Amino acid sequence: MNKCYLGVDIGSISTKGVIIDENFNIISSNYIWTEANPIDAAKKLVNSLNIPKGYKLSGIGTTGSARKLIGLMLGANVIKNEIMCHAYGTLNFYPDCKTILEIGGQDSKIIILNNGVITDYSMNTLCAAGTGAFLSSQSKRIGVDIDEFGSLALKSKNPVKIAARCTVFAESDLIHKAQLGYKKEDIVAGLCKSVVLNYLNNVGKGKKIKEPIVFQGGVSKNVGVVKYFNDILNTKIIVDKNSHLMGAIGAAILSSKEGTDREFNLNMNDIKFETIGYECKGCSNNCEIVRILKDDKLIDSFGNRCEKGMQIK
């Protein structure tokens, strides 16, 4: 029986999943929207993935903002942060990679590598300016389908300057530029360029960006953003066809490295999962505790900074 491994990357906007074989080849994958419900998204995801005949699921890895919740739900043998998973996934395809640029739905990150080892990284999670959610909201504002956003930007001869360091200012600036009569493609190009400048001046500030450079995350599918990364960095960055799945691939690879004889079962349709949040009053920390219930039975809780938060009431 051949072994295979599941990796799940569950974020605030999208949920990604892959099944890989022992040689780390993808044999099944999917990308769906989280829709503010990671539990339902995880169920939909695993139901959509296909384990071929002759394969046995031998490991599950989870990453992303809801990695612990979904890891407990799936019985994962590995729960790792996005930095490590994106690095492992990328190095599987590009072992000489020195810089990973990643822009997702609501956050972005940069990872610096040296001989396959993470030496530095930075994340931006405080503001959604310059992320996929930002571009999606602006595309609706100017009446352009997000799937056509990048290709329209390539038609621009004179991209306008957009103040994209803050979402509120960007929206105001965009409306102002539209009222002045700028062409739509110039506004779109300006937004794409501003995303790149915002990323490099914030997430990438002070980082030594060296080639080979791999760009990933949902925004890497925007050819307009890719163009301005190429132009501003004066190089050709790499965008893999599976760039949006790299975190999930890394989680699956890491699960394969953690030896286990456990049996994994993805049949969760008849299992009820629930999360209950409350503020602990046990001390001055006032921690926000999240309890996870499986068929009304507490299986774990997290969010505490002392033992009082783990006491069951």
In contact, 193 and 228? CB cutoff 8 Å:
yes
Q: What is the pLDDT at residue 202?
A: 86
Q: What is the pLDDT at residue 121?
A: 95
Stretches where the chain sits below pLDDT 50 are 313
CB-based contacts of 310, cutoff 8 Å, min separation 6: 301, 304
CATH of domain 96-239: 3.30.420.40
Q: Which whole-number Å values give the CA distances from 104 to 63, 113, 231, 246, in the listed order?
A: 14, 20, 21, 12
At position 76, the amino acid (one-letter code) is A
Write down the mean pLDDT value for the chain: 87
- In DSSP terms, 9 is beta-bridged to 16, 63
CB-based contacts of 83, cutoff 8 Å, min separation 6: 109, 111, 118, 121, 123
Within the chain, all domains assigned CATH 3.30.420.40 are found at 2-88+248-257, 96-239
CATH of domain 2-88+248-257: 3.30.420.40
Q: What is the pLDDT at residue 297?
A: 81
At position 286, the amino acid (one-letter code) is N
Q: What is the pLDDT at residue 283?
A: 83
pLDDT tens track for 152-173? 889 988 888 877 666 666 677 7
* pTM score: 0.85
